[in-house]
Chains A and B, each alone.
Chain A
């Protein structure tokens, strides 16, 4: 009955490929009392699909286009890697793979090594993670589990706003606000309370490894916290209710019902934050002091892979100097890959024996 109505309707249309309209006004319904085609297709949808021909070509080309999109990622990564290797050739030939373990950085004598910069990049990023992750988890838990409803929207909005601030603005803020605080308030406080650790010895001028880590922590905090919040919101309420029904306290509910269920997502969020921290250039170069150092106290200046490229590339004269800077870029690329690989392994190790959800 309804199928013949469809056929009629379509026949009156100019375009035969137009999809059938499933709901019709009752006026046209009345015209269908005498169906002109007796052997109409059993289903309107099948009929429509048959009329417009086979979908094989479309399916195949769609799959091919999607494959192309996926391959473009490989192509871009390989292309970047290839270009970095080609352009760092003079430096690769001169120093070999020892480049990554040498400490020298002397443009005048043409003596280069990446170790202090790799150290600076890893140290600032990991310190930033140590500060940002607990804070971000706290923000996310509060927002999803404890926050009174009227406060939820403003706090979420502010967190996302923090993520949208350009890094040079963070850098300026750090130079004018964080550096004096570090020099006059926070630094002396750390010396007084934690001076015995030996981490806070030496002169404190307000710029250095610790200041750079703090600004990085502030920058990655919104990324980690807003992603973690989304992941925690996605945990079904039945999980929470089930845990509570078993007699758990609120804290136990958060730990067993929420955190445990979303830990893979949380690790993913931390990895995204780490990715930003590793590559961050502008804000770091403004407050880190840009002096290659290894293993000095946290107040001492240091330098990162990204900030040495940003600082010295435009005035790099001489092929060896330029290629050494490009090889620093290669080092940054490799450090990112290695750190991400380690993170994957960690996720794998954590989840290998335990299911994601408590049964």
Chain B
């Protein structure tokens, strides 16, 4: 196997100038680790295809692919109807993996993992719950001695797919949140302080006593941060894991629309983690360059056959089987 790879790379170097297919993509930062791994592995196996990916953010990914500046985009946020109708280049969304957003906190003297209901999280960020010993937090955490200190809510100051998933969940569980501030990659946060990036929130929460924030599951796992469980639609407190996230996707698979625009936050099911989401690649439906379209379709096929298995190692949840089958049919239409 190794010899084959080396031989292939040598061959690639020799033939690179002549026939290498360069494919450029840009978009979401959240799936960047797994995409980088996939693209580099795929290029080693297929030396004539080179996929470059820039993680510039979901908003930028949607903008660039619909204006035709890159060959494909990536986003953690579904495109709005206005974006779809206004796009110069029509694109289709292909789900690739799933991720989750987890609540993190730093309360001196509390080592037990906490439980949070969705409406409690919403009210913390609305400024209605201001201290850790609030009766509603205590109700979800019997037996934990919570201090009477003021909560410092921390949010993402940069626009982010993570914020979108998080606020989408809050809007579903809290009518007050739904009316204002609502859901979005960047919103008008009523209280708290903003920090840039997952690392900004993690750093702030780690060093500020009595703070509360939210980060992506992979970020929390890779940095060995403890995170709380969240109450799902069945009323059960569930901790985020690849299994509980895939369970949320499986519940949604039955109602999966043809364009894959579906929100799986607060999904039904006993073991589902409620703040979960797909992340999508955005592929032009009619590429100007049929060679590129074919190379992309080949890559997506490889992703389903081999890539999904590698996702778990990086704590991304793989697509459930029914969704994989659906995606396979969609890829066949890429031209």
* A307 nearest CB neighbor, chain B only: B157
* B130 nearest CB neighbor, chain A only: A203
Q: Which of B187-204 contact A (CB under 8 A)?
A: 187-189, 191-196, 200, 203-204
Contact A301 B194 (CB under 8 A): yes
CB distance from B312 to the nearest CB of A (A): 28
| A314-B192 in contact given A206-B208, A285-B157, A286-B200 (Cβ < 8 Å) | no
Give the contacting residue for B181; candidates A106, A179, A208, A286; CB below 8 A: A106
CB distance from B331 to the nearest CB of A (A): 26
Contact A107 B57 (CB under 8 A): no
Contact B188 A175 (CB under 8 A): no
Answer whether residue A207 sits at the interface, using C-beta atoms and an 8 A cutoff.
yes
CB distance from B162 to the nearest CB of A (A): 10
Contact B57 A315 (CB under 8 A): yes
Contact A109 B150 (CB under 8 A): no
Contact A205 B152 (CB under 8 A): yes
Contact B150 A203 (CB under 8 A): yes
* A111 nearest CB neighbor, chain B only: B188
Q: Which of A167-201 contact B (CB under 8 A)?
A: 175-176, 179-180, 183
Contact B187 A314 (CB under 8 A): no
Give the contacting residue for B183; candidates A108, A207, A317; CB below 8 A: A108
Give the contacting residue for A312; candidates B77, B158, B181; CB below 8 A: B158
Answer whether residue B63 sits at the interface, using C-beta atoms and an 8 A cutoff.
yes
Answer whether residue A218 sits at the interface, using C-beta atoms and an 8 A cutoff.
no
Distance of A349 Cα from B204 Cα, bound (Å)? 46
Answer whether residue A289 sits at the interface, using C-beta atoms and an 8 A cutoff.
yes
CB distance from B55 to the nearest CB of A (A): 10
Answer whether residue B182 sits at the interface, using C-beta atoms and an 8 A cutoff.
yes
| A108-B188 in contact given A205-B152, A289-B194, A317-B62 (Cβ < 8 Å) | yes
CB distance from A68 to the nearest CB of B (A): 33
Bitwise interface map of B from 205 to 240 toward A, beta carbon under 8 Å scored 1, else 0: 001100100000000000000000000000000000
Answer whether residue A162 sits at the interface, using C-beta atoms and an 8 A cutoff.
no
* A285 nearest CB neighbor, chain B only: B196
| A107-B157 in contact given A291-B194, A314-B60 (Cβ < 8 Å) | no
Contact A317 B63 (CB under 8 A): yes
| A314-B195 in contact given A203-B150, A286-B200 (Cβ < 8 Å) | no
Contact A207 B204 (CB under 8 A): yes
Q: Which residues of B contact A312 (CB under 8 A)?
A: 157-159, 186
Distance of A105 Cα from B187 Cα, bound (Å)? 8
Chain A contact residues, majority secondary structure: loop
* A207 nearest CB neighbor, chain B only: B193
Contact B184 A107 (CB under 8 A): yes
Q: Which residues of A contact B160 (CB under 8 A)?
A: 315
Answer whether residue B318 sits at the interface, using C-beta atoms and an 8 A cutoff.
no
| A315-B194 in contact given A106-B181, A108-B183, A108-B188 (Cβ < 8 Å) | no
CB distance from B256 to the nearest CB of A (A): 24
| A311-B194 in contact given A317-B59, A317-B63 (Cβ < 8 Å) | yes
Give the contacting residue for B58; candidates A175, A291, A307, A315; CB below 8 A: A315
Contact B157 A106 (CB under 8 A): no
Q: Which residues of B contact A121 (CB under 8 A)?
A: none
* B164 nearest CB neighbor, chain A only: A315
Number of residues of chain B lying within 8 A (CB) of chain A:
40
Q: Which of A79-125 contact B (CB under 8 A)?
A: 104-109
Distance of A303 Cα from B184 Cα, bound (Å)? 19
Contact B59 A315 (CB under 8 A): yes
Answer whether residue B51 sits at the interface, using C-beta atoms and an 8 A cutoff.
no
Q: Which residues of B contact A291 (CB under 8 A)?
A: 189, 191-194
Contact B159 A290 (CB under 8 A): no
* A282 nearest CB neighbor, chain B only: B196
Answer whether residue B83 sits at the interface, using C-beta atoms and an 8 A cutoff.
yes
Q: Which residues of B contact A176 (CB under 8 A)?
A: 207
Answer whether residue B56 sits at the interface, using C-beta atoms and an 8 A cutoff.
yes
Q: Which residues of A contact B282 (CB under 8 A)?
A: none
Answer whether residue A316 sits at the interface, using C-beta atoms and an 8 A cutoff.
yes
Q: Which residues of A contact B187 (CB under 8 A)?
A: 106-108
Q: Which residues of A contact B264 (CB under 8 A)?
A: none
Contact A317 B185 (CB under 8 A): yes
CB distance from A119 to the nearest CB of B (A): 16
Q: Which residues of B contact A175 (CB under 8 A)?
A: 203, 207
CB distance from A83 to the nearest CB of B (A): 17
CB distance from B27 to the nearest CB of A (A): 10
Q: Which residues of B contact A318 (CB under 8 A)?
A: 82-83
CB distance from B3 to the nearest CB of A (A): 42
Contact A286 B196 (CB under 8 A): yes
Contact A314 B186 (CB under 8 A): no
- Residue from B57, B150, B180 whose CB has the most chain A CB atoms within 10 Å: B57
Contact B58 A290 (CB under 8 A): no
Bitwise interface map of B from 300 to 328 toward A, beta carbon under 8 Å scored 1, else 0: 00000000000000000000000000000
Q: Which of B126-154 contact A (CB under 8 A)?
A: 150, 152
Distance of A62 Cα from B203 Cα, bound (Å)? 56
CB distance from B171 to the nearest CB of A (A): 10
Q: Which residues of A contact B182 (CB under 8 A)?
A: 108-109
Bitwise interface map of B from 155 to 176 toward A, beta carbon under 8 Å scored 1, else 0: 0011111000000000000000
Distance of A66 Cα from B184 Cα, bound (Å)? 51
Distance of A207 Cα from B161 Cα, bound (Å)? 25
Contact A290 B194 (CB under 8 A): yes
| A315-B193 in contact given A205-B152, A286-B200, A290-B157 (Cβ < 8 Å) | no
A sample of 15 inter-chain contacts (CB < 8 A) reads A106-B181, A107-B159, A107-B185, A107-B188, A108-B182, A108-B183, A175-B207, A206-B208, A207-B204, A291-B189, A303-B157, A311-B157, A314-B159, A317-B59, A317-B80
Starting from the known contacts A303-B157, A317-B159, 11 additional A-B residue pairs (CB-CB under 8 Å) come to A109-B182, A205-B152, A207-B193, A286-B195, A290-B194, A311-B194, A312-B158, A315-B159, A315-B160, A317-B185, A318-B83
CB-based closest 4 A-B pairs: A315-B159, A290-B194, A290-B157, A289-B193
Q: Which residues of B contact A (CB under 8 A)?
A: 56-60, 62-63, 77, 80, 82-83, 150, 152, 157-161, 180-189, 191-196, 200, 203-204, 207-208, 211
